[in-house]
Amino acid sequence: MRHQDFDQRRHPRRLHATRRPAAGRRTANRAVTVLAVSAVALAAAIALVACTGVAPAITRAITSSAGQPDPDDGTTVADGGFGTADGVLEENRFTADDVELPGIANLEPDLLEAVRQATDAAAEDDITLFISSGWRSTAYQQHLLDEAILRYGSEEAARQVVATPEGSSHTRGAAVDIGATDADYWLIEHGSAFGLCQTYANEIWHFELATTPGGDCPELLPDAG
Predicted pLDDT at 42: 42
From the CB of residue 205, how many other CB atoms can be counted at a distance below 10 Å? 20
Q: Which domain holds residue 97?
A: 87-135+173-209
In 28-165, beta strands by DSSP E: 130-133
Over range 26-48, report the average pLDDT.
44
Task: Confirm whether 201 is domain-assigned.
Answer: yes
Predicted pLDDT at 81: 80
Task: Confirm whether 68 is domain-assigned.
Answer: no
Helix axes 109-123, 181-190, angle to 10 degrees: 110
Task: Confirm whether 101 is domain-assigned.
Answer: yes
Grade residue 182 by pLDDT with cuts at 50, 70 and 90: very high
Task: Confirm whether 188 is domain-assigned.
Answer: yes
Task: Confirm whether 117 is domain-assigned.
Answer: yes
Task: Confirm whether 82 is domain-assigned.
Answer: no
Q: What's 96's domain CATH number?
A: 3.30.1380.10
Say how many domains are in the chain. Answer: 1
Distance CA 42, CA 206 (A): 35
Whether the Cβ atoms of residue 69 and residue 108 lie closer than 8 Å to each other:
no
In the predicted model, is pLDDT for residue 154 greater than 80?
A: yes
Distance CA 122, CA 190 (A): 9
Predicted pLDDT at 199: 96
Task: Confirm whether 35 is domain-assigned.
Answer: no
Grade residue 108 by pLDDT with cuts at 50, 70 and 90: very high
Over range 134-156, report the average pLDDT.
94
Task: Confirm whether 195 is domain-assigned.
Answer: yes
CA angle 31, 25, 29 (to 5 degrees): 30
With a threshold of 0.85, does the pTM exceed it?
A: no
